[in-house]
Amino acid sequence: MGVALFIVSEALFFLAIFWAFFHSALSPTIELGAQWPPMGIEAVNPFELPLLNTVILLSSGVTVTYAHHSLIQGNRSGALDGLVATVLLALVFTGLDISCMSFFSVGFTVKGWPLNNNYSSATVDEPKLSPYWVTGFADAESSFSLKVSKSSSTRSGWNVIPEFQITLHSRYLLLLRKIHSFFGIGIVGEREDRNQAYYSVQSARAIVNVIIPHFDRYPLITQKRADYLLFKQAVNLLIQGQSRSSFEGIRDILSLKGSMNKGLSDTLKLHFPDILLFPRPVVGEQGIQDPSWLTGFVDGEGFFYVKSLKNKRYSSGFNVTMVFSISQHVRDEALLTKFIDYLGCGRIERASTRPDIVNFSVSKFSNIKEKVIPFFQSCSLHGIKHMDYLDFVKVAKIVEVKGHLTPEGINKINSLKSGMNSSRIYN
């Protein structure tokens, strides 16, 4: 009876393992990122090491059975050969397992995240993104939108898809994958014809369960927060099913959409000419709650650049100016003003070519050296801007020792300058 119960328990144990695997693979949950395998995990090829170990394991069963029957028949030589072969197969099996475990313990390359990339790497030891950094980057680069289209499958005749999205140049792909890993939901993709990479979440339930709780706990502080609050109301209506079940439900959604981003499209205005727009929330002046928010915002909207202009007044023939700047729409001018208080330096000025744009900038070298560089030294950037910052620091060290007044120093500065920002080459 004991042996029978043991065999049954082992069978149920393996049944549970296979059941869990097929359940997750066939219907991945939100917690798994709604995909299989989960983000950051590269599945093992079953026809490589697993197949080999299976063959070795079955072979050991054959050799130990041979040893058993040889012993019963009094064949001591056969029994000894069978046991020796079984032990050797066990050692090979164990050795292969140990080598596999060593591979995963020292670190590995996550699928699509090459360790030799010059602007980002992803190892098992890489620190996680701060939630404040994520919010800061979202304040800079994300969008909250509602996609409305005709549908014959709903009673209202219309279908609404909510979307939280970040779309950037393709060189930001690895950073978007880190954001994907942070939230654990959504997808990361590329539009190669446009040199674009994007992170997108379109599931209403995933947005309610993950995206909204994040931004409620770590709130946006730019005017984008108004779009988020309208978006949040719309998603809650979608979860209730109002937009699909009634014409009035879709009108409520459009009332919110009309006050978001660029408002209603011409097509929607044609079909819904009398939509009353929902009042856009007023976003008050909020301070920066965490330094990681600022680094996230700078990863999205900040610039570190160097001006090297010919000037005969200098012995090197060049005047070098270092600038750290952030540009925003004029509606967020009050927020940029708070950067002055937070960093203890800088000024606000209107862009000469675009009156709707305001710039926060720091160009005084003492402020660059004593305030800007130490801040980002203590609170590191995560995106490709980090590479520009490192070159920026190298230029500052040259300027600090008056190297910019020599031809050698100018050549070094110009070399660093030529590889920063849009001129940087990524491979």
CATH number at residue 148: 3.10.28.10
- Check whether residue 254 and residue 299 sit in a common domain: no
> Is 265 in the same domain as 304?
no
Q: Is residue 334 classed as helix, strand or coil in its secondary structure?
A: helix
What is the distance between the terminal CA atoms of the chain, rounded to a whole angstrom?
65
Task: Pick the more confident residue, 22 or 386.
Answer: 386
Contact 363, 323 (CB under 8 A): yes
pLDDT tens by residue, 261-309: 888 998 888 988 888 899 999 887 677 889 999 999 999 999 999 988 7
320 and 193 in a common domain: no
Residue 115 in any domain: the answer is no
Q: Where is the domain boundary, 271, 306, 322?
A: 271
Q: Flag whether pLDDT at 120 surpasses 50.
A: no
Last residue of a domain, one of 237, 271, 305: 271
Same domain? For 249 and 329 the reply is no
When mean pLDDT is compared across 44-53, 85-94, 132-141, the lowest value belongs to 44-53
Within this chain, do residues 384 and 295 fall inside the same structural domain, yes or no?
Answer: yes
Strand ranges, E, within 89-213: 142-150, 158-169, 187-191, 196-201
Burial of residue 413, with CB atoms counted within 10 A of its CB: 0-12 exposed, 13-18 middle, 19 or more buried: buried
Residue 47 counted as domain residue: no
* 413 compared with 32, residue with greater pLDDT: 413
Is the pLDDT higher at 34 or at 175?
A: 175
- Is 248 in the same domain as 180? yes
CA distance 144 to 160: 13
Q: Determine the Cα–Cα distance for residues 137 and 341; give it in Å rounded to an integer.
A: 20
What are the pLDDT digits (tens) for 160-201? 999 999 999 998 999 999 999 999 999 999 988 888 999 999
Note whether 359 and 320 are same-domain residues: yes
From the list 211, 273, 261, 217, the residue with the least C-alpha distance to 236 is 211
The pLDDT assigned to 49 comes to 72
22: in domain: no
Judge whether 278 lies within some domain. no
pLDDT at residue number 351: 74
Residue 295 covered by a domain: yes
Q: Could you tell me if 139 and 297 are in contact, meaning their C-beta atoms sit under 8 angstroms apart?
A: yes
Tokens linked to 398: 């040259």
Chosen domain end from 271, 304, 338: 271
Higher-confidence position of 79 and 23 = 79
Residue 341's H or E segment, with its range, is: helix 333-343
Is the same domain home to 260 and 140? yes
Q: Which two tokens stand for residue 227?
A: 């779009």
Domain-located, residue 202: yes
> What is the number of domains present in the chain?
2
Q: Tell whether omega for the bond before 37 is within 30 degrees of 0, i.e. cis.
A: yes
- Has residue 396 got a pLDDT over 50? yes
Q: How confident is the model at residue 241 (pLDDT cuts 50, 70, 90)?
A: confident
Given this model, what pLDDT does residue 279 score? 92
Determine whether 270 is exposed, middle or buried from the number of CB atoms within 10 Å of its CB (0-12, 13-18, 19+).
Answer: exposed
- The pLDDT of residue 9 is 81
Q: Are the beta carbons of 135 and 228 closer than 8 angstroms?
A: no
Contact 252, 237 (CB under 8 A): yes
Nearest CA to 148 out of 254, 245, 226 is that of 254
121-130, 162-171, 318-327: segment of lowest average pLDDT? 121-130
Instruction: Mark whether 297 and 340 lie in a shared domain.
Output: yes
Q: Residue 276 burial by CB count (10 A; 0-12/13-18/19+): exposed, middle or buried?
A: exposed
45 or 384: which carries more pLDDT confidence? 384
Is 325 among the domain residues? yes
208: three-class secondary structure by DSSP = helix
Show the domain range for 413. 291-423
- Within 8 A by CB and 6+ apart from 296, the residues are 130, 132, 133, 134, 135, 136, 137, 138, 139, 140, 382
Is 112 a domain residue? no
Over residues 64-71, mean pLDDT: 84
Q: How confident is the model at residue 33 (pLDDT cuts 50, 70, 90)?
A: very low
Residue 421 pLDDT: 81
Confidence of residue 340 (pLDDT cuts 50, 70, 90): very high
What predicted TM-score, i.e. pTM, was given to this entire model? Answer: 0.69
Quote the pLDDT of residue 31: 45
Amino acid at 152: S
